[in-house]
Chain A
Amino acid sequence: MMRKALLAFLLISTSPAWAKTIAVAPGENDQEALQTALIEAQPGDVIQLAAGTYRLTNGLSLDVDNVTVRGAGPGASVLSFKGQTGAGEGLLVTSDRVLLTGFAVEDTKGDGIKAKGVDRITMDNLRIVWTRGPHKDNGAYGLYPVEATNVLVQNSEVVACSDAGVYVGQSENIIVRNNRVSFNVAGIEIENSKHADVYGNLAHHNTGGILVFDLPNLPKMGGHSTRIFSNTVVDNDTPNFAPPGNIVAEVPQGLGIMVMANENVEVSGNRIEGNRTAAVMVVSYVRPFEDASYNPLARNVRIFGNTLGRNGWDPKFPGGAELAAALGGGLPPVMWDGVTRFGDKPDDSTTTPASDVPMVSLGLAVAGTPPTKAQPAPVAPAGASATLAAVVLPADQPMP
């Protein structure tokens, strides 16, 4: 009965003709009210969250295609998970063509919003935050599409994830644009994914701003074709607070943009400034792995047309201080580990990044060589230009 008091079913003329709006407002039992709406929604429906704070005690989940969850704004409709006692994330989406827009998710015990195995997911104008600020026990990811196709993450803010604010993993055809990410270990991370455009984002006060990785032993590997352009990547200065074991725990404090393994990555037209370790770092995957189908090398990375301020004056990786001293007090804009081969494979000539600004190679040659064996040498700037096509989302991608 409580539920009926809290939920009013209003008919509003949206397409399809039978679509309805399910209005939900904060009340005595927010968990049941919201979860009931998410279960009873039919394709085409809009779940409208009135302004106010919703107190959730468990995870929420949506498994109905073509549903919109719309709040009154990321500062107005707040889902608070401070009292969460179960589930690995705040909201889990497992259905296609879902639009999430205009609400906040606070203090989840695990990840913020996860969308797994979905097609055409749009996350817009959301705010994901851990209100105590950076802490190792915060959830790993804020906005977390994984094993997804046609992903749009835009106009959102993510603060204080213990891993990545926006994390897109094992996905394909991705746009991440105009988001603001701060005080996360990684601001934005594209991992084991294909065809991603990351642009117009502000990544500041994270440990590292924007990361493009490829990791072994996963169902989907061979990440390639990511464009990082027209982002503002400044003052990433938060000490790394990721729990050890996670790959981002190895990201040095004060990194602008990092490419690890992966292939065909363009870094262009970004403003990169105030990152003490380096503006751009290109490295291979260094941990041991048993996976014949995995390539740990970073290949065909192109860096051009970026606006660079002061970066690299105090590199925070092991041996960084000595390296900076040897190079006259700081790192050039691009640092490359100089790894060109792995295992018993031959040298791969595509591993040398093409950069239009000065670059240093650590000359490590073989993946897994410790940085103490570095033989740093400058690499002269070379011409680099755009070759990747823009990511195009389907015409019926849900839009706010």
Chain B
Amino acid sequence: MPRAAALLAAALLVASAAPSAVNDAVLAGAAAPATLAETGLFLDDGAARPNARVVRYGLATPLFSDHADKARFLYVPEGKTARYAGEGLLDIPVGSVLIKHFGFARANGSLDLIETRLLVHQADGWKAWPYVWNADDSAATLKRAGARVAVTGHDGAGKPLALDWQVPNVNQCKGCHAAGDALVPIGPKARNLNHDFQGENNLARLSRLGLVSGVPENAPRLPDWKDGGESLEHRARAYLDVNCGHCHKPDGPASNSGLFLTWETPSGPNIGIGKGPVAAGRGSGGRMVSIDPGHPDRSILTYRMESTEPGVMMPELGRTQPDEAGTALVRAWITAMR
């Protein structure tokens, strides 16, 4: 084909708006791109329309982030799949990306975006890249040192909220996303994905679309913390697993507390029952133990969940507002304990 014709054909291809692929080379680069758009993960400037092999998912029990709404996506490159590896994290191959939009839902269901966080699986490990949206949600730019953004939104009951939103810096990302020295994903644990989202089970959808393989029949599932059909114990433990367990685990950032709030932790001192504080300081609120069965007002756990004071409140990062519903659940669980 003559050179001019080839150019013309290429131009026509662009003009016909054939979707461009996700930019794997940019995602494999040492330096994070300055804008989210450069990744090619979305087809539009507002990052509402995911590219091919970028699939939205939801969690049975999500992390509380000041009542913000979230949209989560998994990208797995063509020719690869994430493998089911038990009820915990999926074994996600190099080249994949986890994408999380944060914002507040508008009346029409679209997100008024604040920030988008990427976890990019590169050959030498996971990288955390935070992007902050401009005022009209047309571009998101990299903010490695984090940012504070004045945000208006609404709580779970629709009551207006004005927030001093803290975009984490890349070190703070690791403040939660840590296992030993490594940065790791938190959310996409198979048990937390194993439920219906937008009309189909997440694991079934991801398998059908070729992003995930090896999901067994009857895979374990984490309860939906709001599901009244589940036991109080299971709901509270699911909530603590997702909201606390990423730090409060034996290889997590809060390991030295000896307080382990993961789903796997057996009932006993390490889940907090009768356990004195170690490095809580004023975070103890003058209470003697993390969980005093039957007595939420004597339990450090509820004191720190209800606080919004830095140095007292838990989690330390990602929250400035109390999560009333979550706290009520944990209170009910402790009250029912004998």
Contact = CB atoms under 8 A, between A and B. Distances in A.
Interface of A: 3, 32, 35-36, 38-40, 57-59, 61-63, 84-88, 92, 94, 108-111, 116-117, 136-141, 144, 146-147, 162-163, 167, 169-170, 215-220, 242-247, 287-291
Interface of B: 144-148, 164, 166, 169-172, 174-175, 180-181, 250, 253, 255-256, 258, 268-270, 274-289, 300, 309-311, 316-317, 320
Nearest to A85: B310
B166 A245 contact: no
- A-B pairs, 5 with minimum CB distance: A140-B281, A110-B311, A109-B311, A245-B284, A61-B171
B190 to A, nearest CB: 27
The prevalent SS among residues of A at the interface is: loop
A86 B310 contact: yes
A138 B253 CA distance: 22
B144 A36 contact: yes
Contacts of A215: 276, 278
Contacts of B148: 57-58
Contacts of A116: 253, 256
A140 B269 contact: no
A24 to B, nearest CB: 12
B174 A94 contact: yes
Contacts of A141: 279, 281
Contacts of A87: 172, 310, 316-317
The prevalent SS among residues of B at the interface is: loop
A85 B146 contact: no
Contacts of B270: 217
A255 B310 CA distance: 31
Given A35-B171, A110-B281, 5 more contacts: A117-B180, A139-B281, A147-B256, A217-B269, A243-B281
Nearest to A245: B284
A245 B311 contact: no
Given A88-B311, A245-B288, A290 B144 contact: no
A137 to B, nearest CB: 5
A214 to B, nearest CB: 12
A219 B258 contact: yes
A87 B172 CA distance: 9
Contacts of A288: 274
Contacts of B250: 219
A126 B270 CA distance: 35
11 contacts: A58-B166, A85-B164, A92-B171, A116-B256, A141-B279, A146-B279, A215-B276, A217-B269, A218-B278, A245-B285, A245-B289
Nearest to B253: A116
Nearest to B268: A290
B275 A217 contact: yes
A218 B310 contact: no
B286 A244 contact: yes
B310 A219 contact: no
B258 A217 contact: yes
B311 A39 contact: no
B285 A243 contact: yes
A300 to B, nearest CB: 24
